[in-house]
Amino acid sequence: FNQAVLQHIEALFERRKIALNPLTRDQAMVPEVATVIPNRVGTAPLLWFEKGEQLLVSMPGVPSEMRTAMQEEIIPRLKQSFRLSSYQRRDYLVTGFSESALAAHLTSFEDQLAAPFSLAYLPTYEGIRLRLSAWGEEHAGEMERQDRLLRELLGSHCISFGEKSAEALLGEMLVKRGLTLSTAESCTGGYIAHLITSIPGASSWYMGSVVAYDNSIKEKLLQVKKETLAMQGAVSREVAEEMIRGVAAATGTSCAIAVTGIMGPEGGSQEKPVGTVWVATRCRQELIAREYSVGNNRAQNIERTAGIAITQLLRMLQQEAVS
């Protein structure tokens, strides 16, 4: 029985104002041969077993706890315990391509890419993340050369280098320029606001959101005209543009995002099938509205629409900086 683990569990339950039950208390029962590593965000401790050159690590099954344990405890300990060669890596966030179209575009690059280099395609709601990697410090010079080649091929389709999310990059750019942001969401139901507010410090540049799911809310809170809704339909360029003007006026922000679309599986038509989305982005007086087709899966459509909206504004700000 490990008293330190019990004290940690008791303190955690006390902070959460939850009564400690016997099953949770039993998590303080750990093997004597294990090195106990505290679980900073949960109750079940991490257990580190070593025997000769063999190593076994027991971690909690809760994904968020396991992720924290790997990043803060396990990986650092593994690096101390084992001699590892240097890992060379470059990351790129690419938009404007499907995965297959991007692979076709990069065929010549991959044909000349020799071992131990590899290029991974990692589709996300933001776009496609590319990861160029190789083991060994002796390949650092060649990594620089391959990085330059890949950047040239990607051109303006690459909106960032590194692992930061599009919403984090958007926040950094807004702060740097002294700009603020608001969002008007219909089909995404607040998911864009969720992504943005997951960024620490977002309160310094994000003012808020109007989730106008029903047309009556679009009219009352975003000043979308009833005539526009009747003539053009809720999923249209005109409504997206009126939504974005309405939220910018209501919040007084210099930048804004508005989305309206059909997430499915029902609600589509021959003229406007499931997956049809209009995304409007605005910076100061410049406004861009574009139509997209995001797919047939409701959950994926919401994620993709949010990613498209954030990256569309990010691209808009990047192009403004260049000009």
Contact 199, 167 (CB under 8 A): yes
State whether 186 and 122 are in the same domain: no
Percent of the chain scoring above 70 in pLDDT: 100
Q: Which residue has the tokens 């403004």?
A: 320
| Strands, E assignment, 233-309 | 255-261, 276-283, 286-293
Supply the pLDDT for residue 322: 72
> Per-residue confidence at 86, pLDDT binned at 50, 70, 90?
confident
**46: which residues sit within 8 A by CB, 6+ positions away?**
36, 37, 38, 39, 57, 58, 59, 60, 69, 73, 74
Percent of the chain scoring above 90 in pLDDT: 90
State whether 134 and 59 are in the same domain: no
CATH of residue 75: 3.40.980.10
Q: How far is CA 59 from CA 29, 55, 63, 245, in A?
A: 15, 13, 10, 50
Reported as a single tens digit per residue, the pLDDT across 169-222 is: 999 999 999 999 999 999 999 999 999 999 999 999 999 999 999 999 999 999
State whether 34 and 173 are in the same domain: no
Long-range contacts of 174-180 (CB under 8 A, 24+ apart): 174/205, 174/255, 174/317, 175/201, 175/204, 175/205, 177/317, 179/205, 179/253, 179/254, 179/255, 179/283, 179/317, 180/205, 180/206, 180/207, 180/251, 180/252, 180/253, 180/254, 180/255
Contact 253, 243 (CB under 8 A): no
Reported as a single tens digit per residue, the pLDDT across 301-316 is: 999 999 999 999 999 9
User: Of the candidates 161, 180, 199, which is a domain's last residue?
Assistant: 161
CATH of residue 285: 3.90.950.20
User: Of the candidates 161, 179, 199, which is a domain's last residue?
Assistant: 161
Supply the pLDDT for residue 114: 94
- Mean pLDDT within 259-272: 96
- Mean pLDDT within 2-18: 91
State whether 110 and 231 are in the same domain: no
Long-range contacts of 283-292 (CB under 8 A, 24+ apart): 283/179, 283/254, 283/255, 283/313, 283/316, 283/317, 283/320, 284/254, 284/255, 286/316, 286/320, 287/241, 287/244, 287/245, 288/312, 288/316, 289/237, 289/240, 289/241, 289/244, 291/237
Supply the pLDDT for residue 241: 98
State whether 174 and 146 are in the same domain: no
Supply the pLDDT for residue 321: 74
- Mean pLDDT within 133-155: 96
Reported as a single tens digit per residue, the pLDDT across 59-70 is: 999 999 999 999
- Mean pLDDT within 78-94: 88
Give just the sign of the alpha carbon dihedral 39, 45, 51, 54.
negative
Supply the pLDDT for residue 323: 64
State whether 279 and 253 are in the same domain: yes
User: Of the candidates 161, 180, 206, which is a domain's last residue?
Assistant: 161
State whether 156 and 172 are in the same domain: no
Give one DSSP letter per residue of 193-240, joined into a string: HHHHHTSTTGGGTEEEEEE--SHHHHHHHH---HHHHHHH-SSSHHHH
CATH of residue 135: 3.30.70.2860
Supply the pLDDT for residue 283: 97
- Is the pLDDT at 146 greater than 70? The verdict is yes
State whether 277 and 130 are in the same domain: no
State whether 38 and 126 are in the same domain: no
Cα 173 from Cα 163, distance rounded (Å): 16
Statement: the pTM of the whole predicted model exceeds 0.85 = no
Give residue 190's Cα distance to chain centre. Answer: 15
Reported as a single tens digit per residue, the pLDDT across 118-141 is: 999 999 989 999 999 999 999 999
Which residue range is the domain that position 10 belongs to? 3-81
Domain total in the chain: 3
State whether 170 and 308 are in the same domain: yes
The chain-wide mean pLDDT, for the chain, equals 95
Supply the pLDDT for residue 116: 95
Supply the pLDDT for residue 271: 95
State whether 280 and 201 are in the same domain: yes
Reading phi first (left if > 0) and then psi (alpha if -120 to 50, else beta), residue 211 is in beta
- Mean pLDDT within 15-44: 92
Supply the pLDDT for residue 83: 75
> Per-residue confidence at 148, pLDDT binned at 50, 70, 90?
very high
State whether 125 and 139 are in the same domain: yes
Supply the pLDDT for residue 79: 85
